[in-house]
Amino acid sequence: MTTLTKPELEIKVNGFGEVYRVYAPFDQALNSLKNFGIETPISLRDLAYTRVKKGKNSPLNRYGSHTKEGFLYLKDEPILLALNSPLLDLELARQAVEANRKGDFFLIDKIVYYQYREKAEKEKNKEPEERSLLILPERKNQEIPTNSFSKNELTRFLFKDQAKNYGKFLRKNRINKMSIWLVDKEYIDSKEESILMQSGFHNLCNNSVIYGKNLSYAGSKLSNIVLGVKESKSSNSKFEKFLGFFQKLREINF
């Protein structure tokens, strides 16, 4: 039986909550957070928010974290990005860990991809901030200028109300472009099954790269950081409050 690593308090953010850290393969870290009362790893939006809030010298900017988002790949199909990764399911996370320990990507029946794709299609006419899934426009690595975060569909989808602030923060720290690293198209198209990957968010030294292709998050030899948040009562991490207000404004008929 695996002994769970207890999350350790990393930092407190006024009006937001407490950020905890776990060093463990992803499935164990996820289980540890859940047992501690934290349902998911930190989101990209929340990590961007806390990085800006605490400043360049915060430990949140000195290392990365795996986040709650996930990538779905399938042969000859566009890449999907989900705010809530399929790998947040503990059993799927365990299977992904086992595959990654062998140096393989985690493959699953392509019906999983199509279930997510169907929902993504239904949402695609919504504003990026309102969606839970995004269909990526390209099947290759991307570079997004940090001065366009408030206009770019992908950064608006991921960072929500923090897109402009985080882009400004990166430019202040001499980062003019943020990369998105994806599984190679040739490998995706060599498989009949769907590939699932948990997202990760690099530190400032690595130009705040978002990656959806790194096998090390689940490696048995390489334990990585997974952050989670215990929210305060007045937490800024509940983007749903903002989203509800945003949707009400859109419904007003002037």
Which residue is listed with tokens 């749903």? 240
Cα distance from N-terminal residue to C-terminal residue, the chain: 61
Q: Is pLDDT at 238 greater than 90 in this prediction?
A: no
pLDDT at 231: 87
d(CA 130, CA 119): 13
What's the pTM? 0.88
What is the extent of the structural domain holding 189? 9-247
* 3 inside domain: no
Mean predicted lDDT score pLDDT of the chain: 88
pLDDT at 218: 41
* 138 inside domain: yes
Lowest mean pLDDT, pick from 90-99, 100-109, 187-196, 228-237: 228-237
56 vs 118, higher pLDDT: 118
* 252 inside domain: no
Tell me the residue type at 66: H
Q: Is pLDDT at 234 greater than 80 in this prediction?
A: no
* 1 inside domain: no
* 141 inside domain: yes
**Which of 116, 137, 133 is CA-nearest to residue 124?**
133
* 37 inside domain: yes
Give 86's DSSP letter.
G
Q: How many helices and strands (H and E) does the chain possess? A: 9, 11
Number of domains in the chain: 1
161-211 pLDDT, tens digit each: 999 999 999 999 999 999 999 999 999 999 999 999 999 999 888 899 999
**Which of 71, 84, 74, 101 is CA-nearest to residue 199?**
71
38-49 pLDDT, tens digit each: 999 999 999 999
pLDDT at 233: 67
Cβ distance 173 to 208 under 8 Å?
Answer: no
121-170 pLDDT, tens digit each: 999 999 999 999 999 999 999 999 999 999 999 999 999 999 999 999 99
Average pLDDT (207-223) is: 65
* 135 inside domain: yes
Per residue, the 3-state secondary structure of 159-205, as one string, reads HHHHHHHHHHHHHHCCCCEEEEEECCHHHHCCCCCEEEEEEEECCHH
DSSP string, 21-34: EEEE-HHHHHHHHH
Q: Which run of H or of E encompasses 13? A: strand 8-13
b/e map 237-247, b = 16+ CB within 10 Å: bebeeeeeeee
Cβ distance 95 to 106 under 8 Å?
Answer: yes
pLDDT at 167: 97
d(CA 148, CA 232): 31
pLDDT at 85: 97
* 126 inside domain: yes
pLDDT at 100: 86
Q: Is pLDDT at 237 greater than 70 in this prediction?
A: no
22-31 pLDDT, tens digit each: 999 899 999 9
